[in-house]
Amino acid sequence: MAKLNQIIAVEKGVKSKAQQDLAAAQHGLAKPALLAGISRTYQPKDEEGEQLPPESTRVQVKAEDVLRETAATLTRLFDVTATKDWANCTARADVTVEGRTLLREAPVSYLLFLEKQLSELGAFLRRLPILDAAESWTLDPSTDAWKTDPVRTVRTKKVPRNHVKAEATDKHPAQVDVYYEDIPVGYWTTVKFSGALPARRVNELLDRVEKLQQAVKFAREEANSVEVTDQRVGDAVFGYLFG
């Protein structure tokens, strides 16, 4: 008795062959010359007339034969697909992570859905904003956000100063350069806030997703190892269609 994973493995090949055979059948039926035949003989008007050999062309493609071959090809596809779908109705497995069973008797179709969703969720988590590692962060209960320690910085103001390069004389005025000096006038105390996440938290989430992904794959493999009962539906379908 075959297993579900074996049926899944051959289904693609059976489907591909069916498509090729159908395309070949349609190609043959699209050529009227292959469906046509002829037979003719020649008889002169009198015994002294020219004798010509008979001519004939055989029918190379018969539509009824094509129908029988098509039914045989599609019957195999219908039977394999039915066997898979019937088995999928009963193929189930538990999803267990680190000894904890999260889902019991999950069907294969849902396990496939879950695999896809977890893959997309992992991509989403990898794009989460992460706190700047250059800062020291603590969680602030009052804002429910992360914050840094206060940092005090000096606020300065530029004050013009004069630098006398040359004193005034009775002939020349004084030569003076103006420059600016930064004079402390106050202090800023800065606390940064962020709604991002610590790298440790993001890594924990990604680790959980990866563990669950593995568990779902194991469950799917277990469910797909169930033994299947071969379904024979193609004969009934094509017995009605082409009978």
Residue 144 located in a structural domain: no
19-28, 32-41, 145-154, 182-191: lowest mean pLDDT where? Answer: 32-41
Please indicate, yes or no, whether residues 221 and 122 belong to a single structural domain of this protein: yes
Q: What is the pTM assigned to this prediction?
A: 0.68
Please indicate, yes or no, whether residues 80 and 178 belong to a single structural domain of this protein: no
Please indicate, yes or no, whether residues 16 and 66 belong to a single structural domain of this protein: yes
Rounded to whole angstroms, the Cα distance separating 59 from 84 reads 40
C-beta contacts of 179-187 below 8 A and 24+ residues apart: 182/156, 182/157, 182/158, 183/156, 183/157, 183/158, 183/159, 184/154, 184/155, 184/156, 185/155, 185/156, 185/157, 186/154, 186/155, 187/152, 187/153, 187/154, 187/155
Look at residue 144 and tell me whether its pLDDT is greater than 80: yes
Say if CB 105 and CB 95 are below 8 A apart: no
Over the chain, what is the mean pLDDT?
A: 90
Residue 146 — very low, low, confident or very high, per pLDDT cuts 50/70/90? very high
Say if CB 82 and CB 233 are below 8 A apart: yes
Which of 53-62, 78-87, 205-214 has the highest average model confidence (pLDDT)? 205-214
Please indicate, yes or no, whether residues 183 and 163 belong to a single structural domain of this protein: yes
Look at residue 85 and tell me whether its pLDDT is greater than 80: yes
Residue 205 located in a structural domain: yes
Please indicate, yes or no, whether residues 78 and 180 belong to a single structural domain of this protein: no
Please indicate, yes or no, whether residues 113 and 219 belong to a single structural domain of this protein: yes
Q: What pLDDT is stored for residue 42 in this prediction? A: 81
Q: What pLDDT is stored for residue 163 in this prediction? A: 80
Q: What pLDDT is stored for residue 1 in this prediction? A: 67
Q: What pLDDT is stored for residue 5 in this prediction? A: 87
Q: What pLDDT is stored for residue 170 in this prediction? A: 76
Our count of domains for the chain comes to 3
**pLDDT (average), residues 157-185:** 83
Look at residue 168 and tell me whether its pLDDT is greater than 80: no
% of the chain at pLDDT higher than 90: 55
Residue 215 located in a structural domain: yes
Q: How many CA atoms lie within 13 A of 222 on its CB side?
A: 16
Q: What pLDDT is stored for residue 128 in this prediction? A: 95
Please indicate, yes or no, whether residues 84 and 37 belong to a single structural domain of this protein: yes
Residue 141 located in a structural domain: no
Residue 167 located in a structural domain: yes
Please indicate, yes or no, whether residues 79 and 177 belong to a single structural domain of this protein: no
Please indicate, yes or no, whether residues 201 and 220 belong to a single structural domain of this protein: yes
pLDDT tens for each residue of 8-56: 889 889 999 999 988 888 888 888 887 788 888 888 888 878 888 888 8
The parent domain of residue 163 ranges over 150-190
Q: What pLDDT is stored for residue 162 in this prediction? A: 80
Q: What pLDDT is stored for residue 183 in this prediction? A: 92
Look at residue 165 and tell me whether its pLDDT is greater than 90: no
Please indicate, yes or no, whether residues 236 and 164 belong to a single structural domain of this protein: no
Residue 145 located in a structural domain: no
48-52, 92-96, 162-166, 223-227: lowest mean pLDDT where? Answer: 162-166
Look at residue 174 and tell me whether its pLDDT is greater than 90: no
